[in-house]
């Protein structure tokens, strides 16, 4: 994940239409190859700075919870990821969710699509998602994962407050 870079691009499609987008790529060369596969001739490329605070656990747990809600409502996994990408306020999350949706369209299992993103979705996420895929209960596994992550965050917050208060008394 550390070597992935976020790129904003503007280009012309094979049918002559202007198109804009954002893609994750490890290098400018790999970005150009990805655009070529999409039949896009790039006119401009710009690397976008990444805000690592956006990858905090509470952010990924929130995304997983929202995804679980969409799955429970009957959307497919690809549709849910695409909808979350459209509505997410963070450009880097939008690009990540679009990338995951694209991987699914290529036939990659969701749990495998998460593997390169272990900084955002740690092994526990990958294992729970894989369990959901194998059991056919992805929505339930996502809800449980989000619940567990929220409880863990609350416990961590309480411990931090307790440690802070104990330091002020001495």
- Convert the pLDDT of each residue in 69-81 to its tens digit: 999 999 999 999 9
Q: What's the Cα-to-Cα distance from 149 to each of 29, 42, 63, rounded to whole Å?
A: 37, 40, 12
For the chain, domain boundaries: 5-49, 53-161
Phi, psi of 22 (to 5 degrees): -135, 140
Q: Would you state the pLDDT for residue 169? A: 61
**pLDDT, mean of residues 103-128:** 94
d(CA 141, CA 133): 9
Q: Which of 48, 88, 81, 47 is nearest to 67 (CA)?
A: 81
User: 53-161, what's its fold?
Assistant: Receptor-associated Protein (1.20.81)
- Does residue 1 surpass a pLDDT of 70? no
Q: Would you state the pLDDT for residue 91? A: 92
Q: Left if phi > 0, otherwise alpha if psi is -120 to 50, otherwise beta: which for 16? A: left
**pLDDT, mean of residues 54-78:** 93
- Does residue 149 surpass a pLDDT of 60? yes
Q: Which parts of the chain fold into alpha helices (H)? A: 28-37, 57-72, 77-87, 91-105, 110-114, 123-135, 138-168
Q: What length is written for the chain?
A: 170
- Does residue 64 surpass a pLDDT of 60? yes
Q: Would you state the pLDDT for residue 166? A: 72
Q: Which residues contact 29 (CB under 8 A, 6 or more apart)?
A: none
Q: Which residues contact 69 (CB under 8 A, 6 or more apart)?
A: none
158-168, pLDDT tens digit by residue? 787 777 777 66
- Does residue 12 surpass a pLDDT of 80? yes
d(CA 41, CA 163): 55
- Please check whether residue 94 is in contact with residue 22, taking contact to mean a CB–CB distance below 8 angstroms: yes
């Amino acid at each position: 994940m550390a070597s992935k870079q976020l790129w904003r691009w503007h280009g012309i499609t094979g049918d002559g239409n202007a198109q804009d987008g954002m893609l994750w790529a490890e290098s400018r060369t790999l970005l150009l190859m990805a655009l070529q596969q999409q039949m896009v001739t790039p006119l401009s490329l710009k690397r976008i700075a990444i805000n690592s605070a956006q990858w905090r656990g509470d952010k990924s747990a929130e995304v997983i919870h929202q995804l679980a809600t969409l799955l429970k409502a009957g959307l497919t996994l690809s549709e849910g990821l695409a909808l979350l990408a459209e509505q997410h306020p963070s450009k880097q999350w939008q690009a990540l969710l679009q990338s995951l949706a694209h991987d699914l369209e290529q036939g990659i299992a969701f749990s495998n699509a998460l593997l390169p993103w272990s900084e955002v979705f740690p092994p526990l996420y990958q294992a729970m998602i894989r369990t959901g895929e194998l059991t056919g209960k992805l929505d339930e596994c996502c809800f449980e994962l989000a619940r567990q992550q929220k409880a863990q965050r609350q416990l961590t917050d309480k411990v931090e407050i307790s440690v802070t208060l104990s330091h002020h008394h001495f």
